[in-house]
Amino acid sequence: MGSVNADLVVGVERRPSAGETVLGSDLVTYPGGKGANQAVAAARLGGRVGILGRVGDDGHGELLRGSLAGAGVDLGHLTVTPGPTGVALITVDPDGDNSIIVSPGANARLLPPDVERARAMLAGASVVSFQLEIPIETVEAAARTAADAGARVVLNLSPPAPLPGGLAELCDPLVVNEHEAAFLLGHRGEPAVLAKELLGRGPRSVLVTLGADGALVADASGVTAVASPRVEAVDTTGAGDAFTAALCLRLARGDALADAARYAARVGAAAVRRPGAQSSFPGADEELPA
């Protein structure tokens, strides 16, 4: 459940400072949005996936519906809303690092009544993945519905926002990068320390992603480091979504959290080797970096 966006991507030699103009490459439009990215990535890896979201009645909405359907995602609860589809404005530098501004569009209109209409789909899921490019009250309502039905709730706290205590307690795991962890805690620190402190805030488990350095898994048994394969990065857009999707897929199949994270790190590494978000995600038969 989450955002469905068109990604408008420009390559730049360097990202501009405040008040500065730089020239970039030709504009390229890719299907994206954290919710749609995770749905497509999990479906390509062989998962049975449905999405709860909204798109506008514009060309971007048509592009996104086509991309999701092409990956095999169930669109029964992807509603078309009058107005614009969500858009992400993305700059990518020569090292593959990106900066992103999101205009929510139809994503902002995904509201608790949508959750009620999708109750059967949420109740039938093994794992439900959430992000925060949609209203947080909608995330809370859906996470509670899913958890009450026995589904495992995975929340990727991106973009970062204050986390209501009732929602935190449903997360298994809460997935954050180092910046998002620092936002929640109000300070920076060693990743392992941050992971333990976050675990004390209520989630059932925590996963801190570290980019090329892998991830840390924290639960009642302690903190486990997960390494990432070393690859040459072309574009990091969508890598975190590929990671989370792979994590959810393996959790749905019964893997322990650390084992699921090891697989997810390989999928995330595979995704940075090609440009774009959904266009970079590996298929089930693709050999992953070791």
CA dihedral 183, 186, 188, 192 (to 10 degrees): -80
Question: Using CA atoms, how far apart are residues 26 and 18, in angstroms rounded to an integer?
Answer: 22
Question: Using CA atoms, how far apart are residues 247 and 154, in angstroms rounded to an integer?
Answer: 9
Does residue 35 have a known ligand-binding role? yes
Decide if 114 is catalytic.
no
Catalytic-labelled residue, pool 26, 58, 241, 259 = 241
Does residue 240 have a known ligand-binding role? yes
Does residue 91 have a known ligand-binding role? no
Question: Using CA atoms, how far apart are residues 112 and 258, in angstroms rounded to an integer?
Answer: 33
Does residue 235 have a known ligand-binding role? yes
Contacts of 15 (CB under 8 A, 6+ apart): 22, 91, 93, 99
Question: Using CA atoms, how far apart are residues 50 and 58, in angstroms rounded to an integer?
Answer: 22
Does residue 107 have a known ligand-binding role? no
Does residue 172 have a known ligand-binding role? no
Does residue 33 have a known ligand-binding role? yes
Please, how many CA atoms are within 13 Å of residue 120, restricted to the half-sphere of its CB?
A: 3
Does residue 2 have a known ligand-binding role? no
Q: How many residues does the chain have?
A: 290
Does residue 276 have a known ligand-binding role? yes
Does residue 200 have a known ligand-binding role? no
Question: Using CA atoms, how far apart are residues 159 and 80, in angstroms rounded to an integer?
Answer: 24
Does residue 219 have a known ligand-binding role? no
CA dist list (Å): 118 to 67, 76, 144, 145, 147: 21, 9, 13, 10, 14
What backbone torsions phi and psi does residue 4 show, to the nearest 5 degrees?
A: -130, 110
Does residue 6 have a known ligand-binding role? yes
Does residue 141 have a known ligand-binding role? no
Residues annotated in a binding site for substrate: 5-7, 33-37, 133, 241
Residues annotated in a binding site for ATP: 177, 209-214, 240-241
Q: Please give the positions annotated as active site.
A: 241
Residues annotated in a binding site: 5-7, 33-37, 133, 177, 209-214, 235, 237, 240-241, 271, 274, 276, 280
Residues annotated in a binding site for K(+): 235, 237, 271, 274, 276, 280
